[in-house]
Amino acid sequence: MTTPLNERRFANAIRVLAMDAVQKANSGHPGAPMGMADIADVVWREFLNHNPQNPNWINRDRFVLSNGHGSMLQYALLHLTGYDLSIEDIKQFRQLHSKTPGHPEYGYAPGIETTTGPLGQGIANAVGFALAEKTLAAQFNKEDVKVVDHYTYCFLGDGCLMEGVSHEACSLAGTLGLGKLVAYYDDNGISIDGEVEGWFSDDTEQRFKAYGWQVLHVDGHDSDAIRKATVEAKAETSKPTLIICKTVIGLGSPNKQGKEDCHGAPLGNDEIALTREALGWKEEPFVIPEDVYAAWNAKEKGATVEAAWDKIFADYQTKYPAEAQELLRRVGGVLPEGFSEKADAFIAETNAKAETIATRKASQNTLQAFGPLLPELLGGSADLAGSNLTLWKGAKGVETDAAGNYVHYGVREFGMTAIANGVALHGGFIPYVATFLMFMEYARNAVRMSALMKQRVIHVYTHDSIGLGEDGPTHQPVEQIASLRSTPNLNTWRPADTVETVIAWKSAVERQDGPTALIFSRQNLPFQTRTQAQIENAAKGGYVLAEEKGELKAIIIATGSEVSLAMEAYAQLDGVRVVSMPSAEVFMQQDAAYREAVLPANIRARVAVEAAHVDYWWKFVGLDGRVIGMTSYGESAPAKDLYQYFGITTEAVINVVKELTA
């Protein structure tokens, strides 16, 4: 028999905190926290292994609130279980610089594993967590000692299931048999527009069974049923589990429960008073009885669980000291000793070879060199490995070897990228993912989330311009590079040749505070001769590749394949400097003196050339300068014909420079 509502004191603590915080902010979503409170009570008090006093404990279970609009559910859970999230923080819900923003934000409050809000990406992140756990466990666990052994629990709602990214990620999760992923679907039948049955009639059970998931059904307000289903989910080790929980949104609100009225708006003071009465909750707003706090507090249990793991890890360290040290290094995000020096040696080797090859091939060569140095690399491509050249000789697919280092993501660009975010957040890996630059558009919001969460995810994009040729405008990127460059905290590199490619990869790997987009050509690009000083300056994002002959009159700025055009024009001009700018963002991070040395402010005759949308470059050339590039979509033809047709040629560069310096 289901427990009467007014006797669910522990779950009701979530409900009152949610409705009080939303009311005080006069903004928010009380319905989901109130509807999922009973599920959360069981999962967090009985199953979740975590330590509020050490939120970053390696072997903690991960919890993801994919329906992130219900953020007060997670904040209430963190507060009640003893994390450093006070009742004052709860009162500051949705206020400037608070630990409790409108959606869970990674890095704002302890215990928040990922930023959720864009629906569907949370469950995709959860797939990434589960993938990372399974792969890390396979790489480090021994038959007699398991040091990586935890679950990923995810709450999600109707909106998450309607978003296409959930299809991509959950399909792959079933294929990979991620048995330690347990998802709880808040099946309340309500979204902002009302009852979802008019626009969401999927057979969710059959959908997930087709993916290869175990699917269970429970009354989301029956604690015994939730408990039994969770036990059953954990017993199934070869499949992820979806527990479909039939719930009532806003449960406890006499006049608004079960309606869209409580989805995304405060209940109102009168309704809150009625809800308190229905819940049997006598305390004032933001007051939790001591016995409820005591029942929720997870500090002692968490310390005990972590201490038990510490003993296991101590045994592991004794038996397998090298592996233990390596695991700690990797989860700490520290690169192997000597990596930078070895990478520099490979740059020097690449420079000596002076190869004229496509930068996508130079990227693969770099992976071949870096891969053996970086066991934490976990790569993957959205079905285009043979074109992206993301496979290297040491790559092993995780679908056949759980201890592998490569994921065949299939044609799932968005899911792939959101999963990679989860992998990075889990720790122990540096994920890189790849597709054609044009199809970055499918993954755009997940790329944004990489940057927003400051995660070290390496986004590899090939076939970078009209230079890919005959596939035509549907495959030829025009505005995508500008879109990436305009993303805060994302470093975008478009290298001109083999040396700049290795430098770009090194920068991406060594970067600790955010993602990097690496943009590579399909076609061969001429090698550019450089001094050692120029190689060092290339790592600064922009540098003088060719010094002016005589008095400096004009500057040509170029990236990628267009650097060779700039150099061809340079050979026929006097008083012109060529600046290669593989990463404008990294260049802008340099000090003012260096930027001035490369681009002197008094030289107003500037030309930027790039086979991409022209708008980005105006901030570098100024109103007196010119940009040679794309202002339309491409066409289907051989690359040489396209460059001629769109006027991105050596002759065009020469003519513009002469015009500006006349």
pLDDT tens column, 252-261: 999 999 999 9
Binding residues for Mg(2+): 158, 188, 190
Cβ 537 vs Cβ 597: under 8 Å: no
Residue 318 confidence (pLDDT): 98
Whether pLDDT at 499 is above 60: yes
Q: How confident is the model at residue 2 (pLDDT cuts 50, 70, 90)?
A: confident
Q: For 265-283, what is the mean pLDDT?
A: 97
Question: The tokens of 39 are what?
Answer: 């599920």
Whether pLDDT at 607 is above 90: yes
Q: Choose among 477, 597, 601, 491: nearest CA to 544.
A: 597
pLDDT tens column, 506-531: 999 999 999 999 999 999 999 999 99
The neighbouring-strand residues paired with 458 are 432, 516
Is 413 annotated in the active site? yes
Question: The tokens of 157 are what?
Answer: 């709602």
Tell me phi and psi for residue 252, to 5 degrees.
115, -20
Please give the radius of gyration of the chain, using alpha carbons only, rounded to the nearest integer.
27
Domain residue extents for the chain: 5-302, 339-520, 542-661
Binding residues for thiamine diphosphate: 69, 117-119, 159, 188, 263, 439
Residue 1 confidence (pLDDT): 53
Average pLDDT, the chain: 97
Helices (H) and strands (E) in the chain, counts: 27, 20
Please name the fold of domain 542-661: Rossmann fold (3.40.50)
pLDDT tens column, 152-209: 999 999 999 999 999 999 999 999 999 999 999 999 999 999 999 999 999 999 999 9
Helix intervals (H) in 408-516: 413-426, 440-452, 480-485, 498-510
Burial pattern 20-49, b for ≥16 Cβ within 10 A else e, equals bbbbbbeebbbbbbbbbbbbbbbbbbebbb
Around Cβ 219, how many Cβ atoms within 10 Å? 14
Residue 364 confidence (pLDDT): 98
Cβ 110 vs Cβ 78: under 8 Å: yes
Catalytic residue among 113, 163, 260, 413: 413
Please name the fold of domain 339-520: Rossmann fold (3.40.50)
pLDDT tens column, 129-146: 999 999 999 999 999 999
Binding residues: 29, 69, 117-119, 158-159, 188, 190, 263, 360, 387, 439, 463, 471, 475, 522
- Which residue spans within 507-646 are E strands per DSSP? 516-519, 524-525, 543-546, 554-558, 576-580, 606-613, 626-630
Q: For 76-85, what is the mean pLDDT?
A: 98
Class level of CATH domain 5-302? alpha beta
Q: Which helix (H) or strand (E) holds 459?
A: strand 458-462
Question: The tokens of 293 are what?
Answer: 């706090």
The letter for the amino acid at 396 is K
Q: How confident is the model at residue 45 (pLDDT cuts 50, 70, 90)?
A: very high
**C-alpha distances out from residue 296 to 118, 168, 276, 545, Å:** 29, 36, 20, 63
Whether pLDDT at 265 is above 60: yes
Residue 524 confidence (pLDDT): 97
Helix intervals (H) in 141-246: 158-162, 164-175, 204-211, 223-235
Q: For 102-126, what is the mean pLDDT?
A: 98
Q: For 53-65, what is the mean pLDDT?
A: 98
